[in-house]
Chain A
C-alpha cells in the first residue's frame, strides 16, 4: 500500500496537528485548523485530541461525535461533507428505535411480562409476535382498547406504516406459526410529529390518522402523506384477539434534526486566543426550510461535563472521601461536612486545579451503580456555554479560501483558554430540504497577550451626540512572565471618528509614569508620535482609535505589580448602550489581538461609580448610556461650510451636509436633496440606506445636469425613513462666488 487510506491520512493529519500544538514555541503563532472537506481533519475522527463526551440523558453519557447517529459522512458522495441522515425508503426505521433512545410502551397493560413482549414487534423476527389473544385453556385476554405506543427516538419523515401477524407477510413467512388470521380486526392509528409545539406536559398530543372499524387485511399497510413523525400509537378497537409480528415504519427525506460535536482541541498550557471561524455550506431542497448552526465553547479543563454522585440525597461532584485543604492547612473531608450545601459552596470556591483533582471523573462515574449516579450537567465553572450560532455574513467560503484568516466571523467563546470545541446543528422543516457542511476552519494563536485584561471607560453616562472627553483604563491583571506576550498597541472601537486624542499614560507597578499628551494634535495626518517616539496615535478612523505606547509586559494584580494604561480621547455617542470594546496587541507579532473584558480597572475619579473592587469584571464598565427620552433619530444636521463658493479656487469649493443617525443599526432609507427656494429639486446628493453613525453628503454647487447653481440661498433636505417613524430636517446653505 503506497498511499495511506483516507482514515489513516486523517489520523496522521490530526496527530500532526496536535503535535504542532503541543510543541509550539513561545512566540506568538497563528494557526488555522481545518476540519472536514477534502483537505482537513476527517469529521469522523472528531478533529481534536480529546474525545467528545455527549450527554444523552440525565445520567447517560456517550463518547461520540454524532449523538443519535443521524449524521451522514461524505454526504452525497462528496468526501468530507456532512449532512443529516437521509432515510432509505426501504429501511424499516422502527427497528433501531431503542438504540436511538426511543421507547415501546403499552400503558393499558399492567403485566410487565406482557410488556416485555412488545419488542417482538420491532425485532425483524418472523417467529415472534406481541399477542393479545385468548388461547384455549388459557386465561381470558381482553384485546379491546389495547394501546401500543412507539417512540421512534427521533423525528423522521414517515410515509408508510405496516403491521401484520406471523406468517402473513410473504417476506416474513413462519409456517410453524400459522397465525395469519389473527390480525387486528379494528384499529385506530394516532400520530404525533415530536415537535415541541405538539407536546403537552412533556406528553405528545396524538392525533387520529386512521380509524378503521372493520379491517379485513392481514397486512395493514397505511400510506400516509409524508410527514414528520416521532410518536405512533396503535389502539385496538376490537374484542377479537390479535397478534402483531412486525410493526414497520418506512421513512423518507432527511431527519429534521442532527448534531455533530467535535472532539476537544487542546492548545496547551500557554492558552490560546481565538480568531475567526468559517465554513463551507450548501443546501439541498428549499433553502429557507433548513438551517445549519455552528457554535463553539472554550474551557479551562479537558472535561466540559460535571459528573455527580448521590450523597445524602444531593448530587455532589466530588469523589467519595475527597479531601480539601483549609486555609489553616488542615485536611477536610467534604463528605464529613454536615451541610451538603456548605460543602458544595466550598467545592465551588476551590481553585480549578484543586477542584479537578477531587472531581468525579467520567470513568469513576460510569463505575457507579445506577442508584449512586447523580445528574450529569455542563461544567459552567470551567467551560463557557455554547456560543450563539455564528453567521458567515456575506463571505463566500469555498475550499480554496477556507484557510483565509481574514474571512469568517470572530469566535465569541472567551479567550484565552486552553480547550476548544465546536458543534454543528442541522435542522430542517421540510423533508427534502437540508444543509450540507463541507470544510470548517478556525484560527487560534498562542501565547496570548495576558491571562486577562480588564478595561473600563468613564464617563458612562453622557449626552447624546455631544463630544465628550473619555478616559479609557486598561489593566492586565496578570501577564505571565516568559509566557504571555505583553502589549504595546491598543485599539478602541469607537462609534464615530474620534475628534481628539488626549493624554496617554502608562503607570507602572513601581509608580513610574510614562505619558504623552496629544491634545490639540491634528489627527488628519497620522501616525503622530510624541517626542520620545514611544507614544503614538497610529490610526483614527471612522470607528477605530489605535494608539501605541511603551510595552506593558509584566503585570500581576495579586502580586500588586499591576501596570495601568490610560487613554484619553474625545468622541460622540449616538445611542444608548454604545460599547467601546478594546483590543490589546503586541506590535512585534502578527497575533490575533486580545479583546479586553469590562470591569473595574482603576479608580478614575468622581465620575467612576464602580463599587466593585479593582480587578473585578463588569461588562457594563465599557458601555455608555445616553438619555432615552429624546425621540429624534437624526441629530446634528448642518451644512458646513456656509456659505461656500464653488468657484474652483480650492477654498470652500463644496459644502457638506452633515448629520448623525442615532440608535439605528442596519440600514434605514435616507436621502439628501438640494432644493431652490421655490422648492424645485436641484440635486439629489444621496439616496440609500445608512445605519447609526456620522455621515456627510458633499454638494459641489452643481445641479443634476452638472450646471453650476447661481449664487443664492438653497435648501437642503434630509429624509430618514425608519421602521418606527419618518424624520426630515431642512436647512439653508448659501452659494456665493
Chain B
C-alpha cells in the first residue's frame, strides 16, 4: 500500500512536471515569436533582442541570429533538410491576421491592419500623407466610429467620406464631409472638432495601397463648442479654417491658420497687376465707379541686408503718362467713370520700359491706394492668378478681360447705389493670392424662456492673402499677409401661445462673406476659376437636402443630376412627380404626362405655397446655385409675422418682410396675409382652402434652376427672374375638396387662382423686361374614380378633367389656355392563386384653346392647332411568387398607343382641319426581384 502511495506520488509529480514543462515551452515559444505572457494575457511590447545563454560560448562558429526557426527546430549552425519522415511544411504567413501596431510610446496597440492614416511631416517633400486601406471601404463602408462614454460624458471619433456634418448654418454644413469628426457631449457641454485634408481627402482607396502623399495641401480644421448657461441659454463658438500648407516649411514656425502659398505659386514673380473698376449695378447704366486718383506703394527688400524700402508711384516711373496704363472709363471733370458695362483698368506692368522701380523679384508687397466714389466694384488681376484659360497680355482693356475670362479677385464694392459721388472715399488694399479662409463666430440659443425660443448667430469671415515672392518662400520666411473681414448674422425668435403664434427673423450677410476656400493641387497650382477642381465649400448647395450636393466640387463627384426640393415627401430620393424613375429603368417622363399615371398625379403648377422672394415659384420647391445659407448673401432685412388659430383647423397669419441688397439699392418688401383652412370631416370629406394676399415691391432677381421634363433631359435650365412683382398686389387662392361618398368612389377637385396686379409704372420701366399690367393663373382639376367588384373581376372607371388658363407675365409673350380630359377603364381579373391579368384603356383629349381655329380656317396660315387625341391600350399578366427567398414579380404584356394630331392644312378645297395619326406599340416581359 505504501508503494502504491509512493508510486502515485511520483506519478503526480511527473505529470505536474510534465505539465509545467509543457506550459513553459509554449510560453517561451510565444514569448520569442509573438509576445510576452502576462498572467492570462499575451502582450506584445517591443523588447529588443536579448542575450542568449548559448551564444556566450566562445566558439568561432557562425551564429544565425535573429533566427525565428531556431526555437522551433533547434538546429545550430546548419542542418541537413530531409523531409522523408516529416514532410515539408510551408512557411507560416504571419500576416494573415495583420501585424502588430505600436503607439508613439512603444506601447503595443493591436494586431491587425492599418485602415486609415493621415499624417503630416515637416519639413520634407511629400510630407502630407493619407492612407486608406481597401478594408476601410469594403469592411466599414468608408466610415468608422470609435466611441466611448462614462456617466454623462460621451465621446466619438468618426472617420468617414460621406459624413453629414453641420456646425452652424452660416459656417459649415456639408452632406458629404470627407474627414474626421470628433464629438464630445455632456449634460451641459458639447464640442466637435473637424479635420480634413480638403485638397485631397481621398475617396475610396489610395492607389496601389500606398499613401497619397503631397507637398502642397489644403487642410481644414474646424470646431464648435457649446455650453448650457442656466436653464434657458446655450452659447456656442465656432471656428472653421481651411489653409494652404506646404510641407517644405518648418512646422510650428508660423500661424497655421494664415496658411502659406505653394512654392509653385511663388515660382515666378508677379510681373503684371491690373486693378479693375466697374459699375456694381451695371443694369442701370449710370452712377458706376468713379476714379479720382490712384497710387501704388511698392515694398521691395534687399535680401542681403533684409532692408525693406517703400516706393510710391511717382518714384517708380519716368513718365507718369506712360505708366500705369489706364484703359476704359468715361472722362468727367477730374475723374473717370465706368458706367454700365464699362471697365476702368489700371495696368501695372513691372516689365514695362516706363517702369523704373524695383525688380519684380525684389518686390515683397504691393499696396494700392485709390480714391473712388459712386457704385464702384473693385477687382484685381495679376499674371499669378491662374485659371483655366490663357493669360491675356498687358495692357488689358475691359474687353480683353471679358473675352479672355481672366480670373479677377473682388476687392471691394460700394454699399448702396450712390450716383452723386457723395460717398467719395479712399480705398487702400494690398495685393495677394488667397492662402487661407477662416470663419469664426458665436451663437446663442434661448429655449422656452417665457415661451420664447430664439437663435442668434454672428460670424466673421476672414480671408487671408499673401504676396508671392519665391525668395521668401525658399528661405522659409513669412510672406506679407493681409486679411479682409466680412460679417454675417441672423436672429430668429418665435413664440407659440395658443391660439396665437409669432415669429421674427432678422439677418445680414455682407456681399464678401464667403465659405469657399481655394485648394491647391498636388503640384501647388490653383485654378481660381475652376469650381470643380480648386474650390472647397464649407456650406454646400443641396437644396433637396439629399446625400449629394447639387454642385460639382473637387472630391465629391459630379453634381446631383436630379434636384427636386420639396418634391420627395416620401423620402425615397425619387421625385414624387416621377415616381417610376429608378436606377435600373430610367424614366424621364413626369408622371403627370404618362398614361394611366396622370390620373393621380397633377401638375406642379397646382401646388400652393409661400413665395417670399417673388419669383413666381414656391420657395420650398426652389433650386438655386447658391450655398444653403438660411439667407442670401448681400442681403439684409427682417421678416415678422403674427398669427392666430381661429379654430383648430383655421389659421390666419399676417406679416411683413423687408430685405435690401447691401451692395445696391435693390429691395424686396412684402406685406402679406395667409389664410389656411384644413378641415377633414368623416362624413363630408376633406376641404382645404389656402389664400395668400401680399403687396410686393421687389426688384431683387432670384434666378433659379428648374428641371425641364418637356425636353426629356435631366439638364437643369436656368430660369431668370423676370421680377414679376416690382410693385404688385399678388393674390393666390387654392381650394381642394376630396370626397369619398362610398368606399369605392373617390372625388378630387382642385381649384387654383392667382393674380398679379401691377401697380405704378415699375412693371414697364427700368431695366427688367416689360410686363403685362395683370397676369393670372387659373387651374381647375376634377376627377372621379369608382371600383366595381363583379365576382373576382375588379372594374375601375376613372375620369379626369384638367383646365388651365394662364396669361403671360411678359408683354408680347403667349398666353396659355387649354383643357385636357381623360377617361380610363381598368380591369383586373385574378386568374390563379398569385396571378392576375389586367387590362386598361385610356382615351384623352387635349384642346389648345388659345388659338382661334375658325380664324385660321378662314385666313390661314396652315399650321398645327395644338389639339390632339390619344388612345392607349395596355394588357399585362402578373405572377407574384417567392423564389430563393426573394419576392419575384413577373410580368408580360403589351401596350398600344395611337395619337391623332390636328392641323389645318391647305387641301384641294382650301383650308381644312385634318388629323394625322401615329401609332406606337410596346411588348414586354419583366422580372422584378424584391426583398419584401
Taking Cβ atoms with an 8 Å cutoff, the residues of A that contact B are 188, 196, 199-202, 207-211, 213, 216, 286, 288, 345, 348, 385, 388-389, 391, 412, 493, 575-579, 581, 597, 599, 611-612, 616-620, 623, 625, 628, 633, 663-668, 691, 722-725
Contact = CB atoms under 8 A, between A and B. Distances in A.
B713 A199 contact: no
Nearest to A377: B393
B318 A612 contact: yes
B438 to A, nearest CB: 30
Given A493-B333, A575-B334, A722-B420, 4 more contacts: A202-B403, A612-B314, A616-B320, A665-B420
B330 A388 contact: yes
Interface in B221-243: none
Interface stretch (B150-158, B422-430, B617-625): B422-430
Contact of A724 (B331, B423, B711): B423
Contact of B327 (A188, A348, A385, A611): A385
A667 B397 CA distance: 31
B293 interface: yes
B712 A213 contact: yes
B767 to A, nearest CB: 7
Interface in B129-165: none
Nearest to A597: B321
Contacts of A493: 333
Contacts of B373: 663
Most B CB within 10 A of own CB, among A345, A611, A663? A663
A347 to B, nearest CB: 11
A616 B323 CA distance: 13
Contacts of A391: 330
Nearest to A666: B420
Nearest to B712: A211
Given A577-B292, A724-B422, A388 B321 contact: no
B420 A196 contact: no
Contacts of A611: 314-315
A647 B330 CA distance: 51
Nearest to B319: A616
Contacts of B321: 597, 599, 617-619
B715 interface: yes
B698 interface: no
Given A286-B770, A616-B320, A723 B419 contact: yes
B422 A633 contact: yes
A389 B918 CA distance: 58
Contact of A664 (B328, B397, B422): B422
B402 interface: yes
B329 interface: yes
Contacts of A575: 334, 421, 424
Nearest to B387: A201
Nearest to A391: B330
B371 interface: yes
Contacts of B335: 577
Nearest to A668: B420
Nearest to B530: A201
Nearest to A600: B320
A599 B287 CA distance: 29
Contacts of B292: 576-577
Given A345-B353, A577-B335, A200 B293 contact: no
11 contacts: A385-B327, A493-B333, A579-B334, A611-B314, A617-B320, A618-B321, A664-B420, A664-B421, A664-B422, A665-B420, A724-B418
Nearest to B814: A225
Given A388-B342, A577-B293, A623-B293, A628 B314 contact: no
A211 B711 contact: yes
Nearest to A385: B327
Interface in B405-460: 405, 416-426
B334 A389 contact: no
Nearest to B765: A288
A723 B330 contact: no
B320 A202 contact: no
Nearest to B419: A723
Nearest to A199: B405
A210 B708 CA distance: 11
A599 B314 CA distance: 13
Nearest to B290: A665
A723 B424 CA distance: 11
Interface in B199-237: none
Given A388-B331, A612-B319, A617-B321, A207 B420 contact: no
B425 A628 contact: yes
Interface of B: 287, 292-293, 314-315, 318-321, 327-335, 342, 353, 371, 373, 388-389, 397, 402-405, 416-426, 708, 711-713, 715, 717, 767, 770, 918
Contacts of B330: 388-389, 391
Most A CB within 10 A of own CB, among B293, B373, B421, B767? B421
A284 B392 CA distance: 37
A104 B236 CA distance: 61
A199 B406 CA distance: 12
A208 B421 CA distance: 45
B320 A208 contact: no
Nearest to B313: A620
Contacts of B425: 628
Contacts of A597: 321
Nearest to A378: B397
B320 A618 contact: yes
A196 B318 contact: no
B918 A216 contact: yes
Contacts of A196: 402-403
Nearest to B320: A618
A619 B918 CA distance: 76
Contacts of A388: 328-331, 342
Contact of B331 (A412, A617, A663, A667): A412
A668 B335 CA distance: 19
B537 to A, nearest CB: 19
B423 A723 contact: yes
Contacts of B327: 385
Given A388-B330, A617-B321, A208 B713 contact: yes
B330 to A, nearest CB: 4
A412 B327 CA distance: 14
Most B CB within 10 A of own CB, among A209, A213, A579? A579
Given A618-B320, A620-B320, A207 B423 contact: no
Nearest to B291: A577
B505 to A, nearest CB: 28
Most A CB within 10 A of own CB, among B315, B422, B425, B711? B422
Contacts of A623: 293, 334
A209 B713 CA distance: 10
B723 to A, nearest CB: 15
Nearest to A625: B293
Contacts of B420: 664-668, 691, 722-724
Nearest to B416: A723
B187 to A, nearest CB: 51
A623 B294 CA distance: 12
A453 to B, nearest CB: 14
A215 B293 CA distance: 63
A668 B334 contact: no
A319 B426 CA distance: 48
A138 B831 CA distance: 54
B389 A202 contact: yes
B30 to A, nearest CB: 65
Nearest to A612: B320
Contacts of A345: 353
A597 B426 CA distance: 25
Contacts of B315: 611
Nearest to B331: A412
A314 to B, nearest CB: 13
A723 B422 contact: yes
Contacts of A581: 333
Contacts of B711: 208-211
B767 A288 contact: yes
Given A210-B711, A412-B331, A577-B293, A663 B422 contact: yes
